[in-house]
Structure 1
């Protein structure tokens, strides 16, 4: 009797592993300038780390996606941004003629996870 219970349990565990959805990494859906902020859209939430690199604002998101770049104006000065894949992460760099500092926030809207990066001159 105990062997039947054990066999049933093992069979259930094996079927559960086979039929369970495979977790996937977040994927970048789009990136665009929105006023004086950069808006990134992902299909699901992703871990974010931020820092500064020689006056530029650098943000690393544990997600995958394609290279994108653009520019907008911040306090009348040009600001260039670039999203590029490096390993299993996306590196987002914001660069201006003046040193930058910044903050970011995230929201979930319409089934997407949105990361809004607001850069400010130091």
Structure 2
């Protein structure tokens, strides 16, 4: 068996494969189609992302507007008021007057969501309520010394 020429139907090189090459292409196309349909269904059924739309300074507090109801956790920490929202938004800061004295607030992104911190030179106490209002969610924070 020297070379690849045929001698009595015996040779050293295999015969060309006569099977169609369309079968692997069809399987790949079906797999790709399945992935794309799965991504579309996942996008349609994904929960809405909670976003902070704006912060309003009102008398003796703040109004925070969200596109949907976020999960909220609030605490009083050493004279400050801290609210943690499971939402996304832009970092913001500002000041408001409480009984003629300045109070600073800051919204910042943390690893668990948005963190609102309200700080003053004296201990603060806050009360927060959330309600649906005008097609969105409003979290109202009322402050007192």
Q: Equivalent residues in 2 for 1:34-53 (5 A)?
A: 34-53=58-77
SS class of match (2:45)? coil
Tell me if the contact between 1:64 and 1:88 (Cα under 8 Å) persists in the aligned partners: no
Q: How far is the alpha carbon of 1:75 from its aligned partner?
A: 1.3
Give the alignment's TM-score, normalised by structure 1.
0.80
Match of 1:82 in 2: 106
CA RMSD in angstroms, aligned pairs only: 1.7
Match of 2:140 in 1: 116
Structure 1: segments with no counterpart, 5+ residues = 1-13
Give me the whole-angstrom Cα distance separating, in 2, the residues matched to 1:28 and 1:18. 26
Q: Equivalent residues in 2 for 1:50-89 (5 A)?
A: 50-89=74-113
SS class of match (2:54)? strand
Aligned pair count reads 107
User: More strand by proportion, 1 or 2?
Assistant: 1
- Structure ranking higher on relative contact order (CA contacts 8 Å, 6+ apart): 1
Give the alignment's TM-score, normalised by structure 2.
0.68
